[in-house]
Chain A
Amino acid sequence: MSSDEPLIRVEGLTKHYESDSGFLSRLLGERKWVKAVDGISFEIHEGETLGLVGESGCGKSTTGRTILQLEEPTEGSVYYRGQDITGMSDSELRELRKEMQIIFQNPQSSLNPRLTVNDIIGEALDIHGMATGQSRDEQIKDLLERVGLNASHANRYPNEFSGGQLQRIGIARALAVDPDFIVCDEPVSALDVSVQAQILNLLMDLQDEYGISYLFIAHDLSVVEHIADQIAVMYLGEIAEMGTPRELFSPPQHPYTEALLSAIPEPDPGWETDRVILEGSVPSPIDPPSGCKFHTRCPRVIPPEEFSLPQEEWRAVLYLRNRVAEGGLNVELIEAELDDDGPGAVQGAIREDCGLPEQLSDPEAERLVGDALADIVEAAPEPVETGLEEAFTSPCTAENPALHDIDGGQAACHLFDERYVDDPATAPQAEPPGAED
């Protein structure tokens, strides 16, 4: 790490948007908040790259925009060279834009089609009064050459360039003010692989030459691994795991990182994987799951101490429990589908739907689940108090884990908490369900 004071320090950054809930519910005071970014902290040192990865909707782009103060954070602070920039005035922020820039994913829509390349890049110079006349033109030509474009193309319009060339223009525009920090928001996602490699190399060359720091946002782990010094994996507005690429990609890992990594299709037909396939999709950030936000999809949820259940059965019980709690179990519909609608058959159908075996291996757990199912079917269509939620609790459903130091990097996962699990790598109850070798 280069110096003690990081270039960028983010502390407890939070951004909540009000969801567009319509006039009536606003009138009734039912406001819903989309928790796009929910209290994240990290540092970026001079000349370093922090890669921010995650699936759509995890809040990675919002993080980038909030750091630049393009969005006002709901809570938390962003420090640039030790100075808090969250409360800055517009004129102070404008000065700051000379230091902090952004490159967008889609160069076609982020460059004004009616301006020449000369004016697109020159605009930044004009705004900050950094160069005029002859020296302005020369600087622009110099910038174009630095990003690998022909300086004589300065008078062309964006539609005369290919996607990769447009991205180079976007980079030249960001470089024009000679920034120390650039947010790269999915800069290569829209490009073909051979062009993607050219742009990644260019970004790395520029970093070597000018010592620029990047926040590199991407959904592609292999791209991030290639370019980043530190990687933060985001899930539903929080950081799940953070560390150097080496730390992050060697076990023990956060189960989400593990799943992301194993989901990448390897360009090798002989590759054998024990692929972890996550069920379902990312829950809504309006009403995220309680406890650890990943527990609804996690293949390694810690089972409750009271019962001895294999992971597969425990996940099925958890699924039933969460569905009942959300009111997502429609007994009438299940009944309508069956030829035989006796209570036993309906219970059987619910079991099958949730992946529950006919008999759970733990007798006490079986008794609780059996009673609950009987109550549900009997009371249908009215909801009923089953007691499942209280009976089956685990640290993962009860408490949101904080990001803490682990052996190599940081992770937000109870598997790394000695209170619950002795050794995350060998914890027998934490085997993924149906692990295929």
Chain B
Amino acid sequence: MAMLEVEDLNVRFYTEDGVVKATNDLSYQIEAGERFGVVGESGAGKSVTSLAVMRLIEEPGVIESGSIRFKGRDLLELSAEEMREIRGNEISMIFQDAETALNPAYTVGEQIAEAVRLHLDMGEEAARERTIELLDSVGIPDPVERYSDYPHQFSGGMQQRAVIAMALSCDPELIIADEPTTALDVTIEAQILELLEDVTEEFDTAIQLITHDLGVVAEFCDRVMVMYAGHPVEMAPVENIYYDPQHPYTVGLMSSIPRIGDERDRLDTIPGRMPDLIEMPSGCNFHPRCPYAEQGCTRTEPRLVDVSSGQPADTDAHLQHSAACLAHTGELTGGLDYTVTVDGQESGGAAQAGGGDE
């Protein structure tokens, strides 16, 4: 049994314009101590997925069906009180924007100490000491002094460190990090990623890392799920995703990033944009943008299948490489025509997927 098991999750938002299908039959698992990446562009359903795990979906959104089991307990069956126990204690969250995650009216130390007091049932003095330890462990210099600083006195990177300290305060087993470094400068991003790597290793914490940045995923994650329009389109250990992508969308994403040392004059692009989640294209949602789309793709919705056998994907099999494309069930007559080249490090390039339709 994996630590987190999400099964057939369907989240819907009932808006005036229609029903937004934010996630569709989404299933995935995270093992204890694993670093699981969720990748996709805006509107792919990444953040909704993590909010659903925390049961933080708000009106007009609802979790329509599916189950989310954490260590065997279905989170969707818990009372609000029980869920609050889980949040912070066992699963905690780091948001993109640290500045809004911190309350500007309280000092950074007080906010973390409050979480410690509430969840760990500590007295004030003990909570203060634990907080100073935490601030120190996330690399905040002069933690005693900075305890009484207000959030605005912290730089962006320091604020994110404080948020990480808060997320760690109760020694959770799973941290959901939603674009934790997107708002930061690249030198600060490197610091924060290193910190997350250290603390998750030290406390053997699992991480669900949500990001649009393929570089961050390659660096940080063990396993990756690529999402498109509320669907998982590909899931595999990180090396497979980068060196042997099996979904045209993943290939398109990889070849559209500019890289230092690559000599291409033009970047490959994915034409068009993510569909409106209210009126999704029929069949495969990606077909209007896919260079390999055929008639069949407009009619048949591909299932997530094991790429080698073509059999339905098994979420229990963590080393499986699965993708949702008709090419893997033999229903695509033309097949996928692209090549992946992995350059040596000397030339400065690495895995680079080129579209093969030119």
Chain A residues within CB distance 8 Å of chain B: 55-56, 162-165, 192-198, 200-201, 204, 219-223, 225-226, 249, 259-272, 275, 277-278, 281-282, 328, 330, 333-334, 336-337
Contact = CB atoms under 8 A, between A and B. Distances in A.
Interface in B151-165: 155-158
Given A219-B185, A278-B187, A197 B256 contact: yes
Given A192-B42, A193-B257, A263-B190, 4 more contacts: A55-B186, A165-B273, A226-B267, A264-B260
Contacts of A225: 258, 260-261
Contact of B256 (A162, A196, A221, A268): A196
A197 B270 CA distance: 8
Dominant SS among interface residues on chain A: helix
A223 B258 contact: yes
A38 B260 CA distance: 29
Given A197-B269, A201-B267, A330-B142, A263 B350 contact: no
Contact of A221 (B157, B238, B257, B260): B260
B39 to A, nearest CB: 10
B73 interface: no
Contacts of A165: 273
B212 interface: yes
A265 B258 CA distance: 12
Given A260-B187, A267-B254, A269-B239, A193 B215 contact: no
Nearest to A277: B190
B213 interface: yes
Interface string B159-188: 000000000000000000000000001111
B144 interface: yes
B66 to A, nearest CB: 27
Given A195-B273, A196-B256, A281-B157, A204 B266 contact: yes
A196 B269 CA distance: 9
Contacts of B266: 201, 204
Nearest to B147: A333
Given A194-B256, A198-B269, A266 B261 contact: no
Nearest to B154: A281
Nearest to B259: A222
10 contacts: A55-B188, A197-B258, A198-B269, A200-B258, A266-B259, A270-B239, A275-B194, A278-B190, A281-B157, A330-B142
B191 interface: yes
Nearest to B270: A194
B145 interface: yes
B149 to A, nearest CB: 13
Contact of A330 (B145, B158, B253, B254): B145
Given A198-B269, A272-B345, A266 B219 contact: yes
A330 B143 CA distance: 12
Contact of B41 (A193, A271, A272): A193
Contacts of A334: 144
A225 B348 CA distance: 13
Contacts of A265: 189-190, 193, 213, 215-216, 218-220
